[in-house]
Amino acid sequence: MQRVNWLTGTLEGSEICTSRKTLGDIRPLFFDQDAAQNMDPALVVYRVQWWSPVPEKTEGGLFWGTTVVEPGLVGTEYFMTHGHFHAKADRTEFYSTVQGTGALILMNQQRKTWMEEMSPGSLHHIPPHTAHRVANTGTSALHFVACWPSDAGYDYDEIRKNGFSARLFSIYGRPLLVDGNSGRA
Ligand code: M6P
Ligand code: ZN
């Protein structure tokens, strides 16, 4: 039996998997490497819980997950998830925000990047062939739920190599998506 706590998005029950990413795990993704080097690598940037009711790669199945992104900045860039295209690139996904404020950053295969604001209740459809990453633009933890096909898989390499074509910075305390690819993620 699995349950969602709708106040927090937290998953409870059996067969729930968990993972976490520390700053040390995802440091190369951030623009300001000097700032990143001077921060504690053990700092947790985000945690994921998910339920896989069917094996990975099952055609026609679905997975459910909850992600909590901590508030914070590396230099002036918001804490964010790694971000990925799906390995089966035409697979889509839903995100919905439970707590906090943030931004869903989307990039198509032509490397056009745009964002959708996330706030409690916001519902987001990630189109096919579109990379997705979430940044926490607030001062408290950002909790969102996700649902995606069990055969979607992950292509992290493309993001690791070429990043997104725009980054979300805090400029005078407000989120601003800034174009420009440093060649890093
Ligand atoms: C959401 C879903 C998961 C994903 C997680 C973290 O919960 O999209 O599939 O793993 O966010 O994102 P990433 O895999 O890019 O670190
Ligand atoms: Zn995805």
Q: Per residue in 115-126, pLDDT tens?
A: 999 999 999 999
Listed in sequence order, the residues at least 6 apart from 127 whose beta carbon sits closer than 8 Å to its beta carbon are 92, 106, 108
Residue 145 in contact with residue 104, Cβ under 8 Å?
Answer: no
What pLDDT sits at residue 14? 95
Q: Per residue in 21-40, pLDDT tens?
A: 999 999 999 999 999 999 99
Atom of ligand 1 nearest to the CA of 63: 9
Q: Which residue in the block uniquely carries the two structure tokens 């990630």?
A: 126
**Contact 86 CB / ligand 1 (< 6 Å):** no
The full set of domain ranges for the chain reads 3-179
Q: For residue 83, how far is its CA from the centre of ligand 1 (angstroms)?
A: 7
Q: What is the largest CA-CA distance in the chain?
A: 46
What pLDDT sits at residue 45? 99
**Contact 84 CB / ligand 1 (< 6 Å):** yes
Q: For the domain 3-179, what is the CATH superfamily, name and number? A: Jelly Rolls (2.60.120.10)
What does the alpha-carbon distance between residue 109 and residue 38 come to, in Å, rounded to a whole number?
Answer: 34
What pLDDT sits at residue 183? 46
Nearest CA to ligand 1 atom 11: 67
Return the ligand number nearest the Cα of 67: 1
